[in-house]
Amino acid sequence: MLQLNGPQELGGLLLAGGEGRRMGGQDKGLLPLCGQPLAAHVLARLAPQLGWLAISANRSLADYRRFGLPLWTDAVAWQGMGPLAALATATDQLPPHIALLQLAPCDTPDLPADLSATLAAALAAGDADIALPVTPQGPQPACLLLKVGVLASVAPYLAGGQRSIRGWLATQRVVEVPFADAAAFANANDPATLAALAAGRSGA
């Protein structure tokens, strides 16, 4: 069982609802990395940083339930609309004590140990509603931290025929937060990247 050791008002949502097209349609979060599903590695990185965690998934639900966390599927109206579908669904699902929500893809096993704290500090220091990590390789929108009040804007955005998370971010107050280590945000989008992540752990 995961030990959640972060601030109680800081929640997290593991994004595991993708189609895994570059992985031949496999469920990426359940692909093995050093004997554990990719999602298990991500959850282990997040748990010390957060006070609450849930999983967004649309298949392999029995497998994801084994993590012992709240599990949501995208609402019918938003199915197939990408990460924003998970946010639209989360709007009515989050416990009332959650003030900030950290996103994380199910295939990013090396996320920074200070990801949530760094993003939360950036929000506290300014008047933005969303903290967006930016590495030398560019923005990482699937790893953002947001104030839960902005979730109400997601459903109208999707209902208007839009589904780009970057497009939605352009309508919000966002602070960009630099992270020097781009490798910490590497995701296993394809078999070669997954093999490289495994090799890095084995020292190969």
Taking only the tens place, the pLDDT of each residue in 153-200 is: 999 999 999 999 999 999 999 999 999 999 999 988 777 778 878 777
Fold of 10-199: Spore Coat Polysaccharide Biosynthesis Protein SpsA; Chain A (3.90.550)
Residue-wise pLDDT for 5-20, tens only, equals: 889 999 999 999 665 5
- pLDDT attached to residue 17: 66
Q: Which stretches does DSSP call E strand in the chain? A: 10-16, 32-33, 36-37, 52-57, 71-72, 100-105, 130-135, 138-139, 145-147, 174-178
117 pLDDT higher than 90: yes
Each domain of the chain, given as residue ranges in start order, spans 10-199
Residue-wise pLDDT for 74-89, tens only, equals: 988 888 888 999 999 9
CA–CA separation, 132 and 56 (whole Å): 20
Beta bridge partners of 32: 37
CA–CA separation, 142 and 119 (whole Å): 13
